[in-house]
Amino acid sequence: MSVSGFANVDLDRLGRQGVSEVVYGEGKTAEQIAAILGRLAAARQSPLLATRVDAAKAADVRRLMGGQGTYFPDARLIRVGEAKAPGGHGRIAVVSAGTSDMPVAEEAAVTAETLGNEVLRVRDVGVAGLHRLMARLDDLRSASVIVAVAGMEGALASVIGGLVACPVIAVPTSVGYGASFKGLSALLSMLNSCSAGISVVNIDNGFGAGFLASRINHIGIK
Amino acid sequence: MSVSGFANVDLDRLGRQGVSEVVYGEGKTAEQIAAILGRLAAARQSPLLATRVDAAKAADVRRLMGGQGTYFPDARLIRVGEAKAPGGHGRIAVVSAGTSDMPVAEEAAVTAETLGNEVLRVRDVGVAGLHRLMARLDDLRSASVIVAVAGMEGALASVIGGLVACPVIAVPTSVGYGASFKGLSALLSMLNSCSAGISVVNIDNGFGAGFLASRINHIGIK
Amino acid sequence: MSVSGFANVDLDRLGRQGVSEVVYGEGKTAEQIAAILGRLAAARQSPLLATRVDAAKAADVRRLMGGQGTYFPDARLIRVGEAKAPGGHGRIAVVSAGTSDMPVAEEAAVTAETLGNEVLRVRDVGVAGLHRLMARLDDLRSASVIVAVAGMEGALASVIGGLVACPVIAVPTSVGYGASFKGLSALLSMLNSCSAGISVVNIDNGFGAGFLASRINHIGIK
Amino acid sequence: MSVSGFANVDLDRLGRQGVSEVVYGEGKTAEQIAAILGRLAAARQSPLLATRVDAAKAADVRRLMGGQGTYFPDARLIRVGEAKAPGGHGRIAVVSAGTSDMPVAEEAAVTAETLGNEVLRVRDVGVAGLHRLMARLDDLRSASVIVAVAGMEGALASVIGGLVACPVIAVPTSVGYGASFKGLSALLSMLNSCSAGISVVNIDNGFGAGFLASRINHIGIK
Amino acid sequence: MSVSGFANVDLDRLGRQGVSEVVYGEGKTAEQIAAILGRLAAARQSPLLATRVDAAKAADVRRLMGGQGTYFPDARLIRVGEAKAPGGHGRIAVVSAGTSDMPVAEEAAVTAETLGNEVLRVRDVGVAGLHRLMARLDDLRSASVIVAVAGMEGALASVIGGLVACPVIAVPTSVGYGASFKGLSALLSMLNSCSAGISVVNIDNGFGAGFLASRINHIGIK
Amino acid sequence: MSVSGFANVDLDRLGRQGVSEVVYGEGKTAEQIAAILGRLAAARQSPLLATRVDAAKAADVRRLMGGQGTYFPDARLIRVGEAKAPGGHGRIAVVSAGTSDMPVAEEAAVTAETLGNEVLRVRDVGVAGLHRLMARLDDLRSASVIVAVAGMEGALASVIGGLVACPVIAVPTSVGYGASFKGLSALLSMLNSCSAGISVVNIDNGFGAGFLASRINHIGIK
Amino acid sequence: MSVSGFANVDLDRLGRQGVSEVVYGEGKTAEQIAAILGRLAAARQSPLLATRVDAAKAADVRRLMGGQGTYFPDARLIRVGEAKAPGGHGRIAVVSAGTSDMPVAEEAAVTAETLGNEVLRVRDVGVAGLHRLMARLDDLRSASVIVAVAGMEGALASVIGGLVACPVIAVPTSVGYGASFKGLSALLSMLNSCSAGISVVNIDNGFGAGFLASRINHIGIK
Amino acid sequence: MSVSGFANVDLDRLGRQGVSEVVYGEGKTAEQIAAILGRLAAARQSPLLATRVDAAKAADVRRLMGGQGTYFPDARLIRVGEAKAPGGHGRIAVVSAGTSDMPVAEEAAVTAETLGNEVLRVRDVGVAGLHRLMARLDDLRSASVIVAVAGMEGALASVIGGLVACPVIAVPTSVGYGASFKGLSALLSMLNSCSAGISVVNIDNGFGAGFLASRINHIGIK
């Protein structure tokens, strides 16, 4: 049997696993995004996402696609197709420290909703105001997976990690100035967390965190 | 009600969640490790782990504890108490690239076993010999969670991430020389993976990966 | 004999080796590029290249040179003079992971074609979709030299290096965000490849990769 | 008037300000430390400190000085002369996360005691176990200055900074592994704290933190 | 008693400590800044600050707030409410090396004035012209706290630290070029100061320095 | 057809390509090295190499293998089996700057000889003594491939690259002190070479350079 | 005698040493530059320089100063006052590799001419074309001081350092892309030069190199 | 005329320029050092230096050379042959901050003496005790060239640069801890000095500084 044979098998089997496609929109023109979304939409049922699309470009993409798709301005996302029905083991909490971390947090939240999860937003709970975080402790402990989004305040993931017993996905953001070094400080801080049960995705990678949170939330559910 | 009151509540609630304790053994004397393990063991039922303990120090610790505990030389771990019975949604696969990555991979594997998971070791499957990785594809796809351990070969996590539909926890190791910069190269490579569904823990943090894999594997299971 | 005498000898001997000249266009005005190309073209037969020239600047350069030269928009290259007839030991494959890596890949491809090589483009074969790479395995194995272009996906070079027996020139690209650090992550990943037979050029240096691939492909051929 | 005249004036005026001298002991022999301490002790009344002295070297130094001086093994400090009587606006709290941070915390604490301050040690209150930190909240809030010592757990300073209204001096330690990069992660994390009222000293610089805490605690007190 | 109960207690107690609120203006729209300031102003008596606001945006903010607030162009600050009456143990000196460091120095100075401190500006005293610094020595020595602001000239903090007996807060600025690496050189230089009594805040963090200087200057004063 | 089928095919096809195996000896015991070499030697005809083996460990390995294998002390290599007969398009020149670069240069040279190439050593030709390099210009120009090994003196690759018309493989070494940062300076310098026709392998990777040089030298030769 | 007395003495003595003043123009408005130049010109005889001034701003500055001053567009410098008469021990050679390094080289050259030195420009002598450098060897050896300006081509300083017996001041430039990291690669390469007699100034610091070259060239000449 | 002809000419001409040879002793055995020194001593008149040689190795080297050579323990240098008679334009001052910087300072001083210069040591004048530096101001101003050696205290070069009118060669040392990053902090600080007339050599490169200082001090003197 040929090597190409392997590839075909692979493609089929992967396809059956319901992986949602994503288009990374930064640096692509509206024409390119519309073309890729169009091609992918023709080939499959699952909802599609295009990330890092500003409002103006999103309007162009939707026009090029004949009005198809929904734009989520806070998340800078276009979704083509409907979100799946909420399912999984429980609720995913997307926690963020400051308003500047919002776009990344929303990218994670809308991604998780699209993939079929109930999402709880917990905002403005940076560790500099621990009482606000504490006030949401019951919410945090009710989640099956937590996505913790923070920039300079990389400490957020550590603190949450010590308070809950579910998996925590930490997303460093490039928000900050000076020695935040475009997210490097938060990234290192999160990697060095003393709390167990935390892992980290790339700086600003809200999509990746939402996608992984959904996978975890659906584990063992066919 | 006083602030201390909060702390007591918290301690109780955390205690009910069955979190296993770990002692980071590097830089501690056998006396210190034995003392901490003794104190913790007296207070709880769960198994305890001490990581980064070499064979000589482990012998001393066990002698000081009256022979208590089991030493896992490949994982450089001491376990006090029995591993929990295997449970969870499925099997955790711990995948490693080279023989030098073994200690970190074993730290992850024994941690996951201790916390009540069936673990499958998949070894010597670096991307430079892709055919060996392919030969284990069915094993990889049968896992509920994958821990991917690799040093210079940070590529392993990306490749696996593209082949499976379960969560992948990537562990960069400090193995390598020159521009591997003690694991930095693998760490960056894993954070930048184009495959979705991957997150990363600290360099050489086998315990953290095994602990998180277990949490994910038990999600929604009380 | 004087020192200057050495230099003259050297100049002559280098001239006989048919080295093609290149003008790095970034940061130069159309006037500067046209002037340098004009001066070089007057002095020699070989084709000339100007790299990193956007479409607007290219139009200006060609106008200033009286319409001389061809512009390759995907590669952002101007070529003055004809490509040499294809020769060498075999075909050079230029492999790229994502559409954002295209300009660098095309810079390599057009450079190699200009210097007298048959070039095969293998696109969209990132390691996150290994089946697409596998589907092109026979193409990869038929090449005499491979140029592997990848940004975040620095893993591509390692994976290819393990599948073929020809020299692989890896080109990290500055595509990416967050911890890709403008190509640093891909650069380190490629330098640390566990596959033998791989070497690396500077970030985004498509010209350098194409030039070197041609030198290798013509080795031993006068 | 001559330039040297300035220097003399300066020396006199500085002398009147009661600055305590310190000898950085790392990399110096017992002979060198004893000689410097002896010279300084002859010239002034204030207590003297030698930092970073291990037990063996300390024994040698004391022998060479005819038994003079006290050794603080946990702080790795030798003190010659008596600590000043406690004074200042209030109590200095020295807070540390893990047992590995102890030597740096003790260096700060003994330094502050030597310079005439009451010091409260608050230990083992890393943010991964927030309830332990909370249980000491009244202690933290009773302090006039806080020194927060933490390695991987750089988050400690941020969390404390949000809970108190006094100045916080953060001391990153080189404790950790992997991406802690010998204290760099904690250092960056502390510099990026979102809590106001925090400043940072060099990695492992317990002496500097204790010295500054004392200066702050005595402000406005002649 | 519930966890939320703790948070309420906390909020109350913190509120009694007279902490001034600050809005980090960079990356926020005039609308966002005005909205946050309006919400905070309604809830409290203390003066409010918005930092990193350029003149055009400040005009918009003030217009949106019905003319409320004062703009400090050199400090790029908006203040809502009156500065507190000057108090504390003494005068805060804000020292800067070059004219390019002025915005950061003014941010520190206006912050300290707002929080109730007398502030002395000492400008243009870089260490390359030591005689200018020396000419202000009596001013420096008369201060209760010093904020030392310098970019490339990170040496300023060390030199001042050796001349005075009060706490010195060093603020590295991102001014410079080449190997200043956007403030990293000044930051490292300040952290490594051989003078005791110095601590460091984040690059360009004038607000943080002014806030901390005020806290120190009011220590022990209810 | 199954996935495993692919792997088998792959294994066969790779095997036919005559790839020589290498064992990276650093961090492995003599027992481990001997065991791996023994297993590999049983399965194939090609010569085997173990790199980074010091003299004492090499003696142990050879003893464990019943005297089998040859040790090359300058290259810190063990070879099991005979070098292939010299072939290829021409001679490979291994050029090094200082005596401290010798072990890496010899690792490259012996690797290339083992794989069937004539190798010319050109030593002690650092760019600080350009006349010594010039004296070997005819040798350099007679080579079909050049391996340029240099530590602090990363300039060597650039200078050679400008003098010859064959492919140049640059190997930075970790030799040096201070701002050489264990080879980083040489690595960056080589990646930024203005000469075309140069590519770079990892710091100290003499084996990789020799292996690639051989591949290039045998291109188009079955 | 007072401390201020020292400062006055100092100012007088420094003034007698004929130090030329310089204004760093980047980030300053034309108004600011004109004001500073005006103030300095009123107080002294020596020529003044303003560096990093583009053509448009220079026109504004000159207009604001009533036409005073000369603009050097290649060096991006304004000079107020006449260059001193050439003197010193010999000629200063300013050597540069590529046309992109020209502005920094000219900044050095015009600075040195202003301070009273004969300057020889040696251009386009990068080490990738060693024959062009060799052709100027007699010129290089006739200089009393050499300023070597190079970006990616940091090798230039090493090569020149090995060919001459006079002091060499190396100026790394931020020209380049990818792993040149805005001059860091050239900076490290120059610091690690194996040739003795070389020292380095900050990236792009043409003024500093020209100033120092003049100091060296006038050494021992009152 | 042949290329080798050039090399001979070069060697002759360089030889006439009286360049002293140096052997970098670190990482070399006593046998290797003795062999190189013996070979060089046979070929020339000038004094020779071997740097970075500890006392034990120095004793071995001298024994192997039949007692030839003088060892300077503070400078860790062996000198073979006599120092040249002091000459040049004036005196070279070698200034150092702390006792830990002594070995590097002495390496510079003995090198300069060997090459025929009067050297003045100015010790223990770190900027944290500015009055000690000021007390030596006349000494500093009497020098023709200054070598400023400092570790953490990179500020020293800036301060001196502002006080004198002669060339200053700054030598960062690897002394320090924490964020000194083995000399990187001092290196960056020195490169960013705001004082003109300063240049920098590699970390710990006392030889290079002494050599360059001598070249500068002898400029224009045949």
Residue A136, SS3 per DSSP = coil
Low-confidence ranges of chain E (pLDDT < 70): 1-20, 153, 222
Contacts of D8 in chain H (CB under 8 A): 131, 135
Q: Do A179 and D192 touch (CB under 8 A)?
A: yes
Instruction: Report the distance separating Cα F207 and Cα F211, nearest Å.
Output: 6
pLDDT at F199: 96
Contact E78, E70 (CB under 8 A): yes
Contacts of G48 in chain H (CB under 8 A): none
Residue-wise pLDDT tens digits, E99-155: 889 999 999 999 999 999 999 999 989 888 888 898 999 999 999 999 999 998 688
Q: Bridge-partner residues for E78, per DSSP? A: E50, E71
H with F: touching (≥3 Cβ pairs within 8 Å) = yes
Q: Bridge-partner residues for E168, per DSSP? A: E146, E198
In the numeric block, the tokens 């188009």 are attached to F220
Nearest CA in chain B to F206: B178
- Residue C18's alpha-carbon distances to C5, C9, F219, H24, H108, in angstroms, are 21, 16, 21, 41, 48
Q: Bridge-partner residues for F51, per DSSP? A: F24
pLDDT at B69: 94
Give me the residue from G159, G163, G178 closest to F155, CB to CB: G159
Contacts of A100 in chain E (CB under 8 A): 27-28
Pick from B74, B165, B84: nearest CA to B121: B74
Nearest CA in chain G to H217: G219
Give me the residue from D17, D144, D196 closest to E208, CB to CB: D196
Pick the CATH number of A87-217 from 3.30.2130.10, 2.40.128.110, 3.40.50.12160, 3.40.50.1970: 3.40.50.1970
A with D: touching (≥3 Cβ pairs within 8 Å) = yes
Minimal C-alpha gap between A133 and chain E (Å): 8
Q: Is the pLDDT of residue B75 over 90?
A: yes
Nearest CA in chain F to B175: F27
Contact B187, B152 (CB under 8 A): no
In the numeric block, the tokens 């290192």 are attached to A188
Confidence of residue A137 (pLDDT cuts 50, 70, 90): very high
**B116 Cβ partners below 8 Å, 6+ apart?**
B83, B84, B85, B86, B87, B88, B214, B218
Contacts of D14 in chain G (CB under 8 A): none
Q: Is the pLDDT of residue A11 over 50?
A: no
Residue-wise pLDDT tens digits, H81-104: 999 999 999 999 999 988 889 999
When pLDDT is averaged across residues A180-204 and rounded to a whole number, the result is 92
Confidence of residue F27 (pLDDT cuts 50, 70, 90): confident
Q: Positive or negative, the Cα torsion across C96, C102, C106, C107? A: negative
Per-domain boundaries in chain C:
2-80, 87-217
Confidence of residue C8 (pLDDT cuts 50, 70, 90): very low
Instruction: Report the distance separating Cα E110 and Cα E211, nearest Å.
Output: 10
Contacts of E11 in chain A (CB under 8 A): 131
Pick from E79, E69, E67: nearest CA to E22: E79
pLDDT at G6: 37
Output the DSSP codes for G12-39.
HHHHHTTPPPEEE-TT--HHHHHHHHHH
Give me the residue from A131, A175, A178 closest to E10, CB to CB: A131
ipTM comes to: 0.90
In the numeric block, the tokens 């810079």 are attached to C107
Provide the mean pLDDT of chain A.
88
Q: Is the pLDDT of residue G60 over 50?
A: yes
Instruction: Report the distance separating Cα F201 and Cα B141, nearest Å.
Output: 35
Amino acid at C66: G
Contacts of E33 in chain A (CB under 8 A): none
Minimal C-alpha gap between C183 and chain H (Å): 24
Which of the two residues, A126 and B214, has the higher pLDDT score?
A: B214
Nearest CA in chain A to E52: A177
Best mutation target among H101, H134, H136, H184 (most D Cβ atoms within 10 Å) is H134
**F44 Cβ partners below 8 Å, 6+ apart?**
F15, F21
Burial of F128 by CB count in 10 Å (0-12 exposed, 13-18 middle, 19+ buried)? buried
**B97 Cβ partners below 8 Å, 6+ apart?**
B124, B125, B126, B127, B149, B150, B151, B153, B156, C194
Best mutation target among G1, G9, G11 (most E Cβ atoms within 10 Å) is G11
Share of chain G above pLDDT 70, in %: 90
Contact D29, D35 (CB under 8 A): no
Q: Do B179 and F184 touch (CB under 8 A)?
A: yes
Give me the residue from D7, D32, D203 closest to H135, CB to CB: D7
Give me the residue from E100, E135, E180 closest to G4, CB to CB: E135
Minimal C-alpha gap between C138 and chain G (Å): 32
Confidence of residue A160 (pLDDT cuts 50, 70, 90): very high
Minimal C-alpha gap between G164 and chain E (Å): 28
Q: Is the pLDDT of residue C72 over 80?
A: yes
Q: Is the pLDDT of residue D28 over 70?
A: yes
Q: Is the pLDDT of residue A142 over 70?
A: yes
When pLDDT is averaged across residues C113-117 and rounded to a whole number, the result is 96
Residue-wise pLDDT tens digits, B117-130: 999 999 989 888 88
Give me the residue from C14, C32, C204 closest to G177, CB to CB: C204
Pick from F189, A13, A183, A193: nearest CA to B192: A183
Q: Do E203 and A177 touch (CB under 8 A)?
A: yes
Q: Do E165 and D199 touch (CB under 8 A)?
A: no
pTM of the model: 0.92
Nearest CA in chain H to C5: H1
Provide the mean pLDDT of chain C.
88
When pLDDT is averaged across residues C152-165 and rounded to a whole number, the result is 89
Q: Is the pLDDT of residue B79 over 90?
A: yes
Strands (E) across E35-166 are located at 48-51, 70-72, 77-80, 91-96, 118-122, 145-150
Instruction: Report the distance separating Cα F103 and Cα G130, nearest Å.
Output: 28
Minimal C-alpha gap between F32 and chain B (Å): 10
Nearest CA in chain E to B13: E3
Pick from H180, D121, G129: nearest CA to C22: G129
Q: Do H131 and D7 touch (CB under 8 A)?
A: yes
Q: Is the pLDDT of residue D182 over 70?
A: yes
Phi, psi of G120 (to 5 degrees): -110, 120
Nearest CA in chain D to E166: D215
CA angle H28–H29–H31, rounded 5-degree value:
125
**C56 Cβ partners below 8 Å, 6+ apart?**
none
Pairing of strands H48-51, H77-80: antiparallel
Minimal C-alpha gap between C196 and chain F (Å): 6
Q: What is the DSSP letter of F125?
A: -
In the numeric block, the tokens 């200033």 are attached to C64
Instruction: Report the distance separating Cα E48 and Cα E42, nearest Å.
Output: 11
Instruction: Report the distance separating Cα H82 and Cα H69, nearest Å.
Output: 9
